[in-house]
């Protein structure tokens, strides 16, 4: 079938959430450091900062490595922040303080957000070709905060619909979240492609949902043990997508 629409991942695909040369671990610890310092300012007694950040990273790594082991309703920022501070011995956090901690986490990471090279030209070209364009993102954050990031880099106008997992309580690689994006753009799986940087969440997930997949190549790709994924196409830079789209159209 001819291609009628493109759905995109967000982090690592349209926007960098890691600072230049920073690893995922360093980015996660940047956000958690915001939580730590906010609690310190409030007067809580905490473990040494290095130990606290290491414990939070262990939590994040275990969570993202096996999302299916968790209730989908718990995959939200305020729940995860509460679980992190409980590792630090803090169990009496009020709802208002929990909101403040979540905001501190997001603000620390958002300070380093930048768009990928060529993102404007790529999205504009896709829209000019008459393609439907949308976004499906796995995130613990409330979607409104990611919309703010997309707004400040002028990307929102290209995206006809955005699906954020924490808002809809559906997560890649499961087919339900891909179907939400397809339905919003009046697309069928065989007329759509999904673009992302994860072989597991994006490539494997999209293909299981019946979409073609385009992988933005990563130096250290990750897949769960026992799963293999071969993208329908692979690119090194986002503008390389346009040649693939032309062939598929």
Tell me: do 155 and 82 sit in the same domain: no
Q: Lowest mean pLDDT of 30-34, 211-215, 217-221, name the range.
A: 217-221
Contact 176, 208 (CB under 8 A): no
- Domain final residue pick, 110, 140, 173: 110
Q: Does the pLDDT of residue 210 top 90, yes or no?
A: yes
Tell me: do 13 and 66 sit in the same domain: no
Select from 13, 97, 23 the least CA-distant residue to 60: 23
Tell me: do 90 and 121 sit in the same domain: no
34-59 pLDDT, tens per residue?
Answer: 999 999 999 999 999 999 999 999 99
Tell me: do 177 and 128 sit in the same domain: yes
Q: In which band, very low, low, confident or very high, does the pLDDT at 21 lie, cut at 50, 70 and 90?
A: confident
Average pLDDT, the chain: 96
pTM of the model: 0.95
- Domain final residue pick, 77, 95, 110: 110
Considering the chain, what percentage of its residues have pLDDT values greater than 70?
A: 100
Q: Report how many domains make up the chain.
A: 2
CA distance 39 to 30: 15
Q: Locate tokens 């026992």: which residue? A: 226
Average pLDDT (217-225) is 92
Q: Does the pLDDT of residue 1 top 90, yes or no?
A: no
95-148 pLDDT, tens per residue?
Answer: 999 999 999 999 999 999 999 999 999 999 999 999 999 999 999 999 999 999
Q: So what's the pLDDT on residue 232?
A: 98
- Domain final residue pick, 82, 110, 138: 110
Tell me: do 103 and 167 sit in the same domain: no
Tell me: do 95 and 70 sit in the same domain: yes
Tell me: do 95 and 137 sit in the same domain: no
Q: In which band, very low, low, confident or very high, does the pLDDT at 20 lie, cut at 50, 70 and 90?
A: confident
Q: In which band, very low, low, confident or very high, does the pLDDT at 193 lie, cut at 50, 70 and 90?
A: very high
Q: Does the pLDDT of residue 249 top 90, yes or no?
A: no
Q: Which structural domain, as residue segments, surrounds residue 231?
A: 5-17+115-248
Cis before 173? omega within 30: yes
Q: Does the pLDDT of residue 77 top 90, yes or no?
A: yes
């Amino acid at each position: 079938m001819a291609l009628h629409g493109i759905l995109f991942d967000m982090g690592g695909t349209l926007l960098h959430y890691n600072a230049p040369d920073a690893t995922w671990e360093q980015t996660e610890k940047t956000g958690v450091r915001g939580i730590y310092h906010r609690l310190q300012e409030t007067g809580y007694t905490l473990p040494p900062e290095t130990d606290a950040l290491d414990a939070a990273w262990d939590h994040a790594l275990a969570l993202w490595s096996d999302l299916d082991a968790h209730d989908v309703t718990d995959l939200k920022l305020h729940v995860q922040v509460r679980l992190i501070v409980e590792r630090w011995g803090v169990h009496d956090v009020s709802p208002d303080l929990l909101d403040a901690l979540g905001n501190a986490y997001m603000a620390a990471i958002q300070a380093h957000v930048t768009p990928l090279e060529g993102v404007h030209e790529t999205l504009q070209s896709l829209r000019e070709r008459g393609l439907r364009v949308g976004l499906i993102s796995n995130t613990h954050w409330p979607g409104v905060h990611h919309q703010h990031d997309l707004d400040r880099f002028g990307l929102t106008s290209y995206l006809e619909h955005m699906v954020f997992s924490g808002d809809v309580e559906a997560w890649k690689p499961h087919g339900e979240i891909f179907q939400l994006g397809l339905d919003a753009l009046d697309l069928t799986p065989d007329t759509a492609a999904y673009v992302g940087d994860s072989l597991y969440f994006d490539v494997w997930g999209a293909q299981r949902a019946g979409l073609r997949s385009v992988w933005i190549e990563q130096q250290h790709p990750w897949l769960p043990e026992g799963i293999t994924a071969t993208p329908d196409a692979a690119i090194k830079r986002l503008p390389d997508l346009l040649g693939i789209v032309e062939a598929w159209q």
